Amino acid sequence: MATSIIMPKAGMAMETGTVIEWKVSIGDKIDVGDEILEIETDKVAMPVEAETSGYLLAILAEPGDVIPVTETIGWIGEQGEAVPDAPAGAESSAGDAPAPAAAPSGGTAAAESSNEEPSGAEPAAAVSGGASAERVGDRVKATPAARRRAAELGVNLATVAPTGPDGDVRARDVDAASDGGTGAPAVSPLAREEARRAGVSLDGIQGTGPGGRIQRRDVVEQAGRPAAPAGGVEPSSTRGGQLAGDTRTPLVGMRKVIAERMLESHRTMPPVTLNAEVSVDALLDLRGQLNAGAESAGRRKVSINDILLLAAAKAVRACPWVNVSLDGTDVVQHEVVNVGMAVALEQGLVVPVIHEADRLSLSAVSDRARELGRRARERKLEVTDLEGGTFTVSNLGMYGITSFTPIINPPQAAILGVGTIRQVLAMDDAGAVSRRSLIDLSLTVDHRLIDGAQGALFVKYLVDLLENPARILL
C-alpha cells in the first residue's frame, strides 16, 4: 500500500513549508532514512527523510509551492502501484490512464451534463460531464483532498462527476470540473492566486508542469511580459499597475515571517531608542593581546563582535529588567540569558541564539557565534538554534553604518544596535587632543515593559563594561 509523504511540522508555530528541491525523481528506489527533498520553514531550510522504503510514485508539490503542514506532497510505494487520489496534472509514475468511473450505489445511471443548476445548489465554476456525486444523507461523498480542492477552486461538489471506486469524488474530479471538462490544462492553486494578484489571465499561458499544468512560475513569467503593442506604441505598464518588465514574487517563507514579525513589533510595541557612544581603545588593545600568537598556538582569533556579544550577555545578567517578555497580560522574567545574533542572508534575516551566553567564556562565545554564522549562511540551522532568544544584538558595523534604530524581535523586549568603529579627535580634561576609537550603541526597548531610565541604566552599565574590557573576562 502506498505511503504518503507529508509536509512535516517542525515546531509548534510552523503552519506552512516551502518545497525547495526534490532530491529524487519519479521511479527512484528509496530506502528508509534517505533524504528525498529539502523544504524551507519560516525559519530554516531542512531535509526531509523517507520514513518508508519503496519507489517514488508521485510528486504533488513543485519547488516554490507553499504547502500547509501535514499535507501530502508525494507518494512512496511499489513499482506500478496506483497513487491514491493524485491531483490532476500531478507528476506520477502511474501514467496518464484515467481512473475508471463508477456509478453511484443505488444504480443511478450517469446523466448528461446540462446548463441548469440543480435545485438549491450553489453555482459551480464548471460542471464535469458524467455521473453526479453520490450523497450520504445531505452530504456528498468526497475525499478530504477533494473537499479542500473544491474550497480552493470554488467548485460545488454536488455537480462534480465522481470517478472513485465507491462513487466518491476525488481531487482529480474537482480539477476536471474546474476546467469545465474542456480539456484545458490543470492550474495549481498557487498559480491561480498569483494570476489573481497580478491581474493576469490564465488564457494562453503555456503550462510547464506535468501534463501541461500551469504553475506559479508560468504566471510570474507571463506577468513580466509586456502586452503586445497597439498601433506600434510600446506599453509602459501592464495590468494591475505593474510596469513593463517587472516581476512579481509571492511574499512567502523567511521574507513573509520577517514582514509579519516587524509589523507586529511596529503595531504592538511603543519603542524607545537610547543612543550612546563608547570608547573602544582599551577593548581594541585587549583584543590585540588576546589574538597575539593565537594562530601559532592553534587558537582562533576573537572578533570585536564576539566581545560585544559576551559583554551584552553580562550586562543583561546584571540588569534583569531588560530580560523580560510579554505573554498576553503576564510579564515573563527570564532566568536564562539567551542572546540572539542577527545574521543577514540573501534570503532575509535570521537570528540564531547563543544559549546561556553569560555563562560562557569568550572563546566559547566566539566558537558558537562562528558556527551559527556558518550554518546560517549554508542554510543548515536547526529549529532549536533559533528558539529561546531573550535579547538580540544586531551589528551593522561591518557595513560602515555608524548608527541605526533597531526593531525589536517579538516577544523580546529589547534589542541592541551596534555601529562601525569610527576615529575622532577628542580633547581631555587637561586640554590635550588625541585620536579616539568610538562605537555608537542604540538600544531599543518596549516601553510597555522597560522605562527609559531603566534602559539608560543598562546602556550605562554596558558602556562601563566595554570601556573596562578586562571585566568582561571575569
Catalytic residues: 447
Count of CA atoms in the C-beta half-sphere (13 A) of 381: 27
Q: How does strand 330-333 pair with strand 324-327?
A: antiparallel
**How far, in Å, are 84, 248, 284, 324, 454 from residue 321 at the CA level?**
56, 44, 29, 6, 7
